[in-house]
Structure 1
């Protein structure tokens, strides 16, 4: 069933309009009696039935609540230094499917792409739309947020004290990522991935000064878009998600 997120809480009757309403009516060509899955702002999930169309608005009747929370047992933030071309589109989509709670696009020294203020807003809007669609498609119970584009120094200076942060860096690694994850009982992780040109030595030192660990994912150098998704997958797996080991 098609999934739709609503602001506010579930009620006996639910109104859907705007982009979601247009998509359901004019792209999916939904009919009276068709059922949808509705997720409210408290992550409560329900099965609902379309009972009316009027003035660009869909009215749903709430049928029953569902016990179908699909969220990971941990919170994972993916901080991705901006890659070339449209690779961020792919990363945003797949990271949401894997279960990240938010995505932070980061500007670092070796980022090739340069966005002015207007372009940054447009790109973020595009990535958020991709993330929203991915959340609906894969059955998430939250809509992960794509944060505004930010510089690396600012990201590092604003890390929460209770989050475990690491970078995948081939030039200097404290420990293999598996060992690092298996010796951490944290419930919040911050995964920082560099651009195609990698991090500079100065940026690595800045990371270390701000409590970010370096780990290795093996002897091969992975592309930026590969590294981000492998790292997120390993964090999820090692913490009981994606069919991983029980904790």
Structure 2
């Protein structure tokens, strides 16, 4: 069953008139009609919605179908800006794997840079990618996509931070990620470099702000692969052991 996210407040048994974008997809694209159902989500709660009118699109919320699908750890990915469409790939797949926030940053050694004047359009596009991936993977929330600076990253009291560092992997560091996850933090910020990697100065700055270098296994991964590896590892270490 298709899932949509709405800005409308939802309560069981209520009738709700929905946004034009949802109407276009459900009625124009999927050709749904009165009596058909889809899933509707707002503020982390999902409902079985029955169409009662198609113009404007109006639904009645029949059942609360919310279930636990979010990672037990809120994961904020911070990725160095990469070349081409790597950002869209990261946002789509990281959303499917459970990231709660995805940020991008210009880095010293990155060959690609995002200019301030192009940021609004890029972030709007990436947020739309996150929305589509959240609907497809039946998430309860849509990750927030943003832009940051590495030296602006700080850790709150309930957060831990790791930086995926190629030199740590080369040196054989293999325990830090598991140790960090086993502390059961409420929130984790994980930083990844672009194709050229992070500079020693950037890593030093992150360490001064409480981030710890962590290897991601013995192989060197592409910039778009490493964040997905981390999310998969967290799911295996935390979610799958609870099933």
TM over 0.5: yes
Aligned residue for 1:6? 6
- Counterpart CA distance in 2 for 1:116 and 1:109 is 14
- Counterpart CA distance in 1 for 2:184 and 2:62 is 39
- Counterpart CA distance in 2 for 1:111 and 1:119 is 17
Gaps spanning 5+ residues in structure 1: where?
A: none
1:233/1:177 CA distance change after superposition, 3 Å:
farther
Query: Any idea what the Cα deviations from partners look like across 1:127-180, whole Å, max 9, x if unmatched?
Result: 100000000111111111112x222112x2x33232110011121366534542
Aligned residue for 2:71? 72
- Counterpart CA distance in 2 for 1:115 and 1:218 is 30
Q: How does 1:55-94 map to 2 (within 5 A)?
A: 57-94=56-93
Gaps spanning 5+ residues in structure 2: where?
A: none
- Contact 1:50/1:59 (CA < 8 Å) preserved in 2? yes
Query: Any idea what the Cα deviations from partners look like across 1:57-115, whole Å, max 9, x if unmatched?
Result: 20001112224231122211111111110011111001010011111111111222222
Aligned residue for 1:162? 158
**1:196 Cα offset (Å):** 0.4
Q: How does 1:80-159 map to 2 (within 5 A)?
A: 80-147=79-146, 149-154=147-152, 156=153, 158-159=154-155
**1:51 Cα offset (Å):** 1.2
Aligned residue among 28, 34, 37 for 2:36: 34
Give RMSD over aligned pairs. Answer: 1.8
1:67/1:219 CA distance change after superposition, 3 Å:
closer
TM-score norm. by structure 2 comes to 0.91
Q: How many residues align?
A: 238
Aligned residue for 1:206? 205
TM-score norm. by structure 1 comes to 0.90
Query: Any idea what the Cα deviations from partners look like across 1:186-208, whole Å, max 9, x if unmatched?
Result: 12111111100001111111111
